[in-house]
Amino acid sequence: MSEAIPRRASTLAVSPTPSPVASFWQLALRRFLRHRVAVAGLLVLVAISLMAVAAPVLAPHSPTAIDASGFQAAPSAAHPLGTDSVGRDVLSRLIYAARVSLTVGILAVAMYVVIGTTVGAIAGYYGGTVDLVLSRTMDVMLSFPPLIIILFAVSVFGRPSLWNVIIVLGLLGWPPVARLVRGQVLALRQQEFVQAARAVGATDRVVMARHLLPNAMAPVLVAATFGTANAILIEAALSFLGLGVQPPTPSWGNMLTDAQSLTVLERMPWLWAPPGFMILISVLTINFVGDGLRDALDPGLKL
Amino acid sequence: MARYLVRRLLITLPILLGITVLSYFIMALTPGDPVQMLIDPQMTQADREIRRRALGLDEPAYIRYLKWLNELAHGNLGYSFSSGVPVTRRVGERIGPTLTLTVTALALSYLIALPTGILVAVRRYSAVDYAATLFAFLGISLPTFFLGLVGIYVFALRLRWLPTGGTMTLGGEGGLFDLALHLLLPASVLAVAGAGVLTRYVRSSMLEVLGQDYVRTARAKGLAELLVLRRHALRNALIPVITLAGLQIPGLLAGAVITEQIFEWPGMGRLTIEAINQRDYPVLMGITLISAVLVAVGNLLADLAYAYVDPRIHYE
């Protein structure tokens, strides 16, 4: 594909001239900043991300080091949140586990946003039989209860691990995004700027990549935000069941596994309450941010 | 209506077929052969040889899929790796408890969502409205397993009001009351996630109806506000909300996996985890397939119910 065509097509057809009025994204930012809960959520989220990045500095111990002097020890000066069933420091594991959750959330969602956007754009742009086949495929995949098909796939895909979870979520999560992009592309396809781009000889790929997708991205961004929250929840559930991230690697989900024993549940709340709250806080704040983004990007949308 | 029914069924059939294709595909990735799993391990060696040839294990993949599909159509979902029992029987004995749990949870979530949703629609932007919004966000953000553990910790271990799990008191006489006691906590945990979202739906549906001309007319002719709400607004607002029940099925089935595991509830969800731990792929596939079919049928019923209760909807 020649480089000249897309450039010429875009200057002729869309002309993103900076207008004196605020741009779409500036307006969106202004609306987002007015959503106080979302801004607060974003701040907490930034704090959690910083904690994940600075884990080696913040954690008092190594997350995998075993303190031979005691397992399931109650909180003390040396171990502010006590030690787990093997004698590892709970606070350090809690801090390091943020890395796992954020990695899964971001990578799995990035993967399925790319797949979903591609599939949705193709289905919406070409229509006809292509659309029929792709749309039915989406319907089929959406018929499987989310956790059950993921459990099935994870158990089939060899040994459970962090990467296993990311790949399974990434490969199975795309249909809602594809459906969203397809709808956007269908609506945009008939608009004049797209017809103009085609008239000046832009190829299908250029029309899709330059003219359709940038205009379809706002709802995808919202869906991706809620998707990240959901991916973190699913990773936690899988790891809790022993089918996700495996110890000694700490994950908020696998830190709760021990609480399936009633003795641990009743006598050692420091083992399971903190990771549970961390999951809740990170998922809740991401959902708040998603809500703010939805209000900011698509004021017409309800719920 | 009859034509719509036929058309809607015609859309569902390829989806059901697609569900089997995808299940077969994932099964093909497992060690062993999906077709081989259809053969009863308790047969004699000679009989199994005959079955193996009848199922054509050496034939190309699509023929094997068609034969596998044919067996499926005749109710043969294969045999459990771990016990040799037909999958239909293993899953069949677990469907009852799962239905008890999910239907109770669904009823509970409507019981919470209907009054709350109506209240916050009428008192829009009040403190109650914001509280309900927060509750909805908590509902979708709380991990089921954490909520379940907190529930057991508070209501079973600390307060000792409810049992920690199972379906009946050990050595007790059982009975309906005992079952209800065991059901209350897991069903509530399962209901929370759905209830939050459902409340939002009731709210927006109610708000939409309250803005309609016929509601204004009813008010204008001097009807008491309560009558306007009950007779004119509520009835219409409930139509889309009631049909949502069908769309709750995927979430409920997925939530049941975790809830049943935590509360030792002997349903399909717990069987899923058992099957994974025993690498019992035929059982796992049976559950996946059956739950997907339940979802597809649920969607179909939701659409039909909608078309049935709302005379304004015409499907050409």
- Does A205 reside within a domain? yes
Distance from CA of A163 to the nearest CA of B (A): 18
Evaluate if residue B302 carries a pLDDT over 70: yes
What percentage of chain B has pLDDT greater than the value 90?
A: 22
ipTM surpassing 0.90: no
Taking the C-alpha atoms of residue A207 and residue B173, their distance in angstroms, rounded to an integer, is 71
CA Rg, chain B, in Å? Answer: 24
- Choice among B40-49, B67-76, B221-230 with the minimum mean pLDDT: B40-49
Evaluate if residue B172 carries a pLDDT over 80: no
**A67-123 residue pLDDT tens:** 777 777 778 777 788 888 787 888 999 999 999 999 999 999 999 999 999 999 999
In A, what residues contact B, Cβ < 8 A? Answer: 136-137, 139-141, 143-149, 151-153, 155-157, 229, 233, 236-237, 240-241, 243, 253, 256, 259-260, 262, 265-266, 269, 272, 276, 279-280, 283-284, 287-288, 291, 302-303
Average pLDDT over residues A47-65: 88
Residue among B27, B138, B255 whose CB faces A284 most closely: B138
Helix (H, G, I), strand (E, B) or coil at A243: coil
Residue (of B201, B198, B194) closest to B142 by Cα position? B194
Taking the C-alpha atoms of residue A9 and residue B211, their distance in angstroms, rounded to an integer, is 45
**B90-136 residue pLDDT tens:** 999 999 999 999 999 999 999 999 999 999 998 888 888 888 888 88
**B249-277 residue pLDDT tens:** 888 999 999 999 999 999 999 999 988 88
Distance from CA of B283 to the nearest CA of A (A): 10
What sign for the dihedral angle of Cα A277, A153, A99, A178? negative
- Placement of tokens 């002719």 in the chain: B221
CB A196 within 8 A of CB A13: yes
Q: Write out residues 140-179 of B within 8 Å (CB-CB) of A.
A: 140-146, 149-150, 152-153, 157, 164
Residue (of A202, A194, A262) closest to A6 by Cα position? A202
**A8-40 residue pLDDT tens:** 444 444 445 555 567 788 888 888 888 889 999
Q: What is the pLDDT of residue B151?
A: 93
**A251-289 residue pLDDT tens:** 999 999 888 888 888 888 888 899 999 999 999 999 999
- Does A165 reside within a domain? yes
Residue (of B306, B290, B232) closest to B94 by Cα position? B290
Q: What are the start and end residues of each CATH 1.10.3720.10 domain in chain B?
A: 94-309
CATH class for the region spanning B94-309: mainly alpha
- Choice among A141-145, A244-248, B229-233, B309-313 with the minimum mean pLDDT: B309-313
What percentage of chain B has pLDDT greater than the value 70?
A: 96
Residue A272: which domain range? 48-54+86-296
SS (H, E, C) chain B: CHHHHHHHHHHHHHHHHHHHHHHHHHHHCCCCCCCHHHCCCCCCHHHHHHHHHHCCCCCCHHHHHHHHHHHHHCCCCCECCCCCCEHHHHHHHHHHHHHHHHHHHHHHHHHHHHHHHHHHHHCCCCHHHHHHHHHHHHHHHCCHHHHHHHHHHHHHHHCCCCCCCCCCCCCCCCHHHHHHHHHHHHHHHHHHHHHHHHHHHHHHHHHHHHCCHHHHHHHHCCCCHHHHHHHHHHHHHHHHHHHHHHHHHHHHHHHHHHHHHHCCCCCHHHHHHHHHHCCCHHHHHHHHHHHHHHHHHHHHHHHHHHHHHCCCCCCC
Supply angle C-alpha A237, A241, A245, rounded to 5.
75
Q: What is the pLDDT of residue A3?
A: 41
Distance from CA of B308 to the nearest CA of A (A): 23
Q: What is the pLDDT of residue A79?
A: 77
- Does A29 reside within a domain? no
Taking the C-alpha atoms of residue A207 and residue B161, their distance in angstroms, rounded to an integer, is 64
**B51-88 residue pLDDT tens:** 777 776 677 778 888 888 888 888 888 888 778 888 89
Distance from CA of A147 to the nearest CA of B (A): 5
Structure tokens at B156: 């079973």
Give the total number of structural domains in chain A.
1
**A184-211 residue pLDDT tens:** 898 888 888 888 888 888 888 888 888 8
Q: What is the pLDDT of residue A17?
A: 54
Q: What is the pLDDT of residue A1?
A: 38
Verdict on whether the full-model pTM lies above 0.95: no
Taking the C-alpha atoms of residue A55 and residue A60, their distance in angstroms, rounded to an integer, is 9
CB B215 within 8 A of CB B233: yes
Structure tokens at A213: 């997708």
Taking the C-alpha atoms of residue A282 and residue A280, their distance in angstroms, rounded to an integer, is 6
- Placement of tokens 């006809």 in the chain: A128
Evaluate if residue B194 carries a pLDDT over 90: no
Residue numbers in B near A280 (CB within 8 A):
138, 141-143, 146
CB A303 within 8 A of CB B204: yes
**A286-301 residue pLDDT tens:** 999 998 998 888 755 5
Q: What is the pLDDT of residue A20?
A: 59
Query: Longest Cα pair distance anywhere in chain A, in angstroms?
Result: 76
Evaluate if residue A2 carries a pLDDT over 60: no
CB B235 within 8 A of CB B205: no
| Contact call for B146 and A155, based on CB within 8 A | no
Residue numbers in B near A140 (CB within 8 A):
15, 18-19, 21-22
CB A274 within 8 A of CB A96: no
Q: What is the pLDDT of residue B314?
A: 59
Q: Answer with the residue of higher pLDDT: B12 or A53.
A: A53
What percentage of chain A has pLDDT greater than the value 70?
A: 91
Taking the C-alpha atoms of residue B299 and residue A143, their distance in angstroms, rounded to an integer, is 9
Residue (of A32, A23, A27) closest to A294 by Cα position? A32
* Mutation for B interface: A36, A156, A169, A257, most B CBs within 10 A: A156
CB B101 within 8 A of CB B184: no
- Does A90 reside within a domain? yes
Structure tokens at A165: 């979870």
Whichever domain contains A246, its CATH number is: 1.10.3720.10
Q: What is the pLDDT of residue A237?
A: 93
DSSP-derived secondary structure letter, A209: I
